[in-house]
Amino acid sequence: MNLPNYKPDYISEQEYLEREEISDIKHEYFDGEIFAMSGAKANHQRITGNVFAELRNHLKGTPCEAFSSDMKVRADNGNKYFYPDVVVSCNQEGESDFTESPRLIVEVLSDSTRKFDQNLKRLVYQTIPTLEEYVLIEQDRVEIVVFRKSDQWRPTYYYIDDDITFTSIDLTLSVLELYQRVDNQGMRDFLKTLEETKNEI
């Protein structure tokens, strides 16, 4: 049996923005197609909250500002819109709900978004002239990858005992700070080892 050809419902950039203003569900926009975003689990929200809080506090009194997951990033001349988990812009003016000039973008990975965030979305982000760093944070294990423009977008990996310097905003944080209250196997193992060490002293 022949299945009918799949024909996506393409819409314009303007139609997308108008629909998004009244939609109860967030959608990302990719070359005329829209994709609904699913809700985030607790660990995802904890990591996002930790990152946003640290960046927001650090950037007080500077021209740069951190935004959480409701701020869109416009890329590829308006052919693509994404909702990063955290984005830093140093040139955001007015009441616009999207930025075209991100300096730092953070995505928290899940099984459903990992390949897209690691590959296609990363390549799109890296074409944005203002972007200096792209950060991927695993929620199910303790691992962070940072891609830096200054390092030809090569990946650098960080684990539970490491510190990370976000060179784009001159901020150094420990990996542990970004995983506070997160409940995954890596954090459980770390806390168990920490408790055993305390008991031995």
Q: What is the pLDDT of residues 7-25, one digit of tens each?
A: 567 899 999 999 999 999 9
Structure tokens at 47: 């990591």
The pLDDT averaged over each successive group of 10 residues in the chain (201 residues) is 56 95 93 88 95 97 92 95 96 82 95 86 95 96 97 97 97 97 93 81 64
Alpha-carbon distance of 86 to 55, in angstroms, equals: 9
Number of domains in the chain: 1
- What confidence score (pLDDT) does residue 143 get? 96
Do the domain assignments include residue 143?
Answer: yes
User: What residues make up the domain containing 72?
Assistant: 40-191
Do the domain assignments include residue 49?
Answer: yes
- What confidence score (pLDDT) does residue 163 get? 98
- What confidence score (pLDDT) does residue 9 get? 73
Q: Residue 47: which of 142, 157, 131 has the closest Cα?
A: 142
Do the domain assignments include residue 199?
Answer: no
Alpha-carbon distance of 55 to 88, in angstroms, equals: 8
Tens of pLDDT, residues 118-137: 999 999 999 999 999 999 99
Tens of pLDDT, residues 42-60: 999 999 999 999 999 999 9
| Cα separation of the two ends of the chain | 71
* Residue 85 · residue 68 · CB < 8 Å: yes
Do the domain assignments include residue 61?
Answer: yes
pTM of the shown model: 0.90
Alpha-carbon distance of 103 to 125, in angstroms, equals: 10
* Residue 48 · residue 146 · CB < 8 Å: no
Alpha-carbon distance of 49 to 68, in angstroms, equals: 8
Find the CATH number of the domain harbouring 164: 3.90.1570.10
CA 82 → CA 7, 124, 180, distances in Å?
A: 22, 10, 26
Do the domain assignments include residue 2?
Answer: no
Do the domain assignments include residue 7?
Answer: no
**How distant is the alpha carbon of residue 132 from its chain centre?**
14
How many CB atoms sit inside 10 A of residue 27's CB?
A: 17
